[in-house]
Structures are given as structure tokens and as C-alpha cells.
Structure 1
Amino acid sequence: MDLFQYEFMLRALAGALVIGLTAPALGIYLVQRRLSLIGDGIGHVALTGVGVGLLFNQSPVLTAVVVSILGAVGVELVRQRGRTSGDLALALLFYGGIAGGVVLVGLSDSTSANLTQFLFGSLTTTSRQDLIVIAVLGVAVLTAMLALRPALFAVCNDEEYARVSGLPVRTLNLLLAVTTAVTVTIAMRTVGVLLVSALMVVPVAAAQQVTRGFRTTMAAAMAIGLGAAAVGVTVSGELDTAPGATIVILAIAAFLAITVGAATWRMLRRRIPAEREHAGPPEVVLQEASAR
């Protein structure tokens, strides 16, 4: 039976493909800045936004976007101006976000099933309106990451050098914070707030095993994310598993396969020259072969 004859599966696939492209395109900058876990922190803040939406009977996605952006901007300002370290700011984001979300959801009339959809994703329940929001915001984030790649790379690689070069470092940092919040929020319906950080980081980590330049790593990470999303939706439909978790597991499997393959290739490349050196110069080898 063709799974994609159903409209809800087509919407699920389209939403997953958007996130599969967008999350790694943003995640490569977060990995470069050693902020791989910021997606988890903002995801917990997004949970507070979901609680606000459920409590006041508003769209949880929209309230999550607003609260996530406020939380991400707040952490970035604390990191820039305050004495609190980045790790401590992320810890406060983790605990405060999830605590606020649990309390607000408990005060609302919502059931635990609604909360589970945002924690672990509910891709097959994506409506047309949800897909429009995911597509518009995803394209906006992807465009910003590609168009501003040189400036964002400079900021993430060496912030002081970027500042001396005249780049608007504070604005670019805030842009990264806002786009991270937006990406986490739109990915809630795909992989859930507890797994979204994996889709930002794992494809990038896999691409780094076989690429060197920033541009090629970014392209490879986006390809891996896109492939994991497409195959994950198909496999989850066939096996009746959670789409978000399936996508993440496939991304991790790709990382392991690429890592093992790259390590094996490097070992073979080192071994071949060593065997040639042990055998001696080509003319000596030929002389020995003719003598035999």
C-alpha cells in the first residue's frame, strides 16, 4: 500500500523535509560556537510557551514562538553583558523552561496527551495551517543562514576578529538566537522539543567526518538531514513507529556508518603507502620478480 496516497502523510513528509534542511543549516553555526545543547534549552522554554497557549486557549505554536524568542534573546544578552557563563545560562534555561511548562500545562484543562505531542512530536497530525507556518518560517531561517553565511561564520569562528572587521556582532548573535528559537518551535511537530537538538547537531557531526571546508560541511549536513527526514517518515509509516524518534535514530545511524567508513578509509590509505615502502622502490620489485 502506498503510504503517500494519504494527505496527512504528504503533509508529514513535507514538514519533515523542511526541518531536515533547516535544522542542520542552523546547527552548523551552533556547533561552531560550541553551543550544541542550546536547542535543548530553548526547547524547554518552548514548552513554557506551549503551556501559555493551552492555558489561555491560544495557538500553542504561536505562543511557543514568542516565548522561545524571548528566552533565546534573554540568554544571549546575559551571555554578552552579564557575569553568568554560557553553561550556567543554558542550565537556567533548561530547568526554568521545563518547570514553567509543566506548571502551566497542569493549570490548563489540557490532557497529558497534548503535552506528549509537543514533547516527542506528532508529525502525522500536522494540519495545513501548521504546514504553512512550518514552511514559511523554515524558508525564512534557511534563507538567512545561507545569505549571511560569511558573516555568521566569522562571528562563530572568532568573535573578536569579526568585531574588529566591522561586522555587527551583537546583531548577528541575536539573529542566531532568534532563528534557533524559531527552528526549535517549528520542529516541535516533527521531532518534539526533546529531540530537536539532535537534528541540529547529528547531521553536522556526521558531515564533519568526511568534509573539510565549512561550505561543503554545511551542504553535506543538509543532505544528511534531508535524507534522514525522508527515510524516517517512510519507515515510521511502514513500521508504525514515532516519526520524530525514527528520524533521529536514522540520523544517528548515518553518523555511525559515516564515522566507521571514514575511519576505515583513512586506515587503508595509511596502510597502502606503508606496504609500498616495505616492498622497496618499483625497479627493485621488478628485478626481484624477474629473478624469480
Structure 2
Amino acid sequence: MDIFAYDFFQRALIGGILIGLMTPLIGTFVVLRRLSMIGDTLAHVSIAGVALGFLIDVYPLGMGLVFAVVAAFAIEKLRRAYKGYAELSIAILLSGGVALASILFTLGKGFNMNVNSYLFGNILSLSKSDLVLVTVVTIAVLIAVLVLFKELFLMALDEDAASVNGLPLSLLNILTIVLTALVVSVAIKIVGALLISALLTIPVACSLVFGRGFKHTVLISVLISEIAVIGGLSISGVWNLAPGGTIVMLLIVMLMLLLLARRSLRV
């Protein structure tokens, strides 16, 4: 049986490739800014939006995207309020997202099974409208990163130095976190809310093992992400495994192999 001949798997593959491109692009800046947990936070808030979408019969992924963007602005607002405790904003929104999602789950017990695909990921159920949304977000991320690459790099490297150089930090911070929210909200259908942080951070962690320079790190992280997505989808399709979990486990195996390789080279 040739799984690649089916339309649903072709959509899944295209969507996976797009997600594999955009997540490490944003993930690199997120990791360098010590905000690795922001993916989990935005994913859980997005799940609350998905739950509300099912409850009021509105496009769930779109509603999740709206919730994630609102949460992104809230995180930035709280970051300014607690300048010395930036991670506090992430903890607050994470708690709020889980709480709201649990309440909405209770209100709509009939759609719990549908929400599971967003919690754990079900890329094989990617619809044409989902694929259009993923494509639009990917294009937006690519344009933003290509146009503002230098500015985003300086901000990620040293916010104080970026401020001295006259960069509009507030605008760049908002842009970065909103782009992260968009990526997370459309990626939860691929790997699930519980695993989205892995796709944002593990390819970057892999690239940092041998990365030489910022551009090199970004390119390697994208390459590793694509290998994991395509390989994970192929393995899950052939052996009927959970696609999201397979992709993440493949990423972890790749990270372990790279760490072992670096260690052996140093001996």
C-alpha cells in the first residue's frame, strides 16, 4: 500500500513541510531569548480557543489562532509589568489557558474526542482550509524573518545593545511573540499542543551542538526539522503510529546522536 498516493497524506506532508520550515525559524529567536516555554503557554491558550470554537460552532483552528494572538499581547504586557521576572508572564498565561480550556471542556463534553486531535496532533486530518491557513502563516513568518533578520538577531542577542542602537524594541517584541503565537496555533494540528514546544526548541538544540554562527544555526535547525517531519510522517504512515509523537521522538533521537557524536569527536 503506497501511503503517499492518498490525498490526505499528501496534504499532511505539505503541511508538515511548511510547519517544519516555520517552527525553527521562530524557535531560534525564542530559544536565544530564553523563552523556550512560551510555546507550551501559547499552545494551551490556543486549545482553549479551539474548545470554544467547537462549543460555538466556529472554525476551531481559527478561533485557536485568535486566542493565541491575544495571549501573545497579554504576555508582552505582563513582561513589561514584571521586568525582573519575565518568566512570570508565561506561568500566568499557561495557568489561565489550562484553566479556561478545562472549563470549556466541561461545558462541551460532546466534543472532547474532537479536541484530542489538537491536544496530541492529527496531521492526517489536515483539511484544505487548514492547509491554506498554514501556508499563509508560513509566508508571513518567512517575510518577517527575511526582512527583519538583522534586527531580530540583535534583539535576541542583547536587548540592551539593540536598544542603544535605536531599534524599536517594543514593536519587535510584539512582532516576535505574535509570530510565535501564529506558528503555535497552526502547528497544534500537526504535533499537538502537548508537543509543540519540541518542534520549536529541539531542532534549535540540535543545531547549537555544531552550529557555527547564527545563520548557520538557523539553516541547520530548519534542515533537522524537515528531516524529522518528513521522516516521522513516513514512519507513522507505514507503521500506523501517532504522527506527532513519532516526529518528536525522531527529533529526540537525532539530538542524542548529535550529542554523542560531539562527545566522541572531543575524545
TM-score band by shorter chain is over 0.9
- Segments of structure 1 that go 5 or more residues without pairing to the other structure are 268-292
Describe the superposition over 1:137-160 as per-residue Cα deviations: whole angstroms up to 9, x where unpaired: 122113212331110011111111
Larger radius of gyration: 1
| 3-state SS in 2 of match to 1:189 | helix
Structure 2 residue aligned with 1:42:
42
1:126 aligns with 2:126: yes
Contact kept? 1:54, 1:105, Cα under 8 Å: no
Equivalent position amino acid for 1:145 in 2: V
Contact kept? 1:209, 1:262, Cα under 8 Å: yes
Describe the superposition over 1:174-225 as per-residue Cα deviations: whole angstroms up to 9, x where unpaired: 0111001000011011001110110010000001111120000000000000
Contact kept? 2:122, 2:190, Cα under 8 Å: yes
Deviation at 1:132, TM superposition (A): 0.9
Equivalent position amino acid for 2:153 in 1: F
Number of corresponding residues? 267
State how far apart, in whole Å, the 2-side matches of 1:194 and 1:138 are.
21
1:152 aligns with 2:149: no
State how far apart, in whole Å, the 2-side matches of 1:207 and 1:143 are.
22
- Matching of residues 224-263 of structure 1 within 5 Å: 224-263=224-263
Contact kept? 2:50, 2:60, Cα under 8 Å: yes
Deviation at 1:247, TM superposition (A): 0.5
State how far apart, in whole Å, the 1-side matches of 2:83 and 2:110 are.
39
Equivalent position amino acid for 1:263 in 2: R
State how far apart, in whole Å, the 1-side matches of 2:75 and 2:134 are.
24
Describe the superposition over 1:33-77 as per-residue Cα deviations: whole angstroms up to 9, x where unpaired: 011111001111101111221121101111111111111111111
State how far apart, in whole Å, the 2-side matches of 1:88 and 1:81 are.
10
Structure 2 residue aligned with 1:218:
218
Contact kept? 1:55, 1:109, Cα under 8 Å: no
Contact kept? 2:45, 2:94, Cα under 8 Å: yes
Going from structure 1 to structure 2, the CA distance change for 1:100 and 1:84 (only over 3 Å counts) comes to farther
State how far apart, in whole Å, the 1-side matches of 2:126 and 2:8 are.
7
| 3-state SS in 1 of match to 2:210 | coil
State how far apart, in whole Å, the 1-side matches of 2:63 and 2:149 are.
29
Contact kept? 2:82, 2:88, Cα under 8 Å: no
- Matching of residues 53-64 of structure 1 within 5 Å: 53-64=53-64
Structure 1 residue aligned with 2:183:
183
Q: Out of 72-81 and 217-226, give the one that drifted further.
A: 72-81
- Matching of residues 75-154 of structure 1 within 5 Å: 75-82=75-82, 85-108=85-108, 110-154=110-154
- Segments of structure 2 that go 5 or more residues without pairing to the other structure are none
1:196 aligns with 2:196: yes
State how far apart, in whole Å, the 2-side matches of 1:146 and 1:86 are.
27
State how far apart, in whole Å, the 1-side matches of 2:220 and 2:43 are.
25
State how far apart, in whole Å, the 2-side matches of 1:148 and 1:263 are.
35
Taking only the aligned residue pairs, the percentage that are identical comes to: 37
Structure 2 residue aligned with 1:13:
13
Contact kept? 1:138, 1:186, Cα under 8 Å: no
TM-score (norm 2): 0.97
State how far apart, in whole Å, the 1-side matches of 2:139 and 2:189 are.
16
Structure 2 residue aligned with 1:270:
none
Deviation at 1:83, TM superposition (A): 5.6
| 3-state SS in 1 of match to 2:35 | coil
Pairwise CA RMSD of aligned residues? 1.2
Deviation at 1:84, TM superposition (A): 7.1
Equivalent position amino acid for 2:121 in 1: G
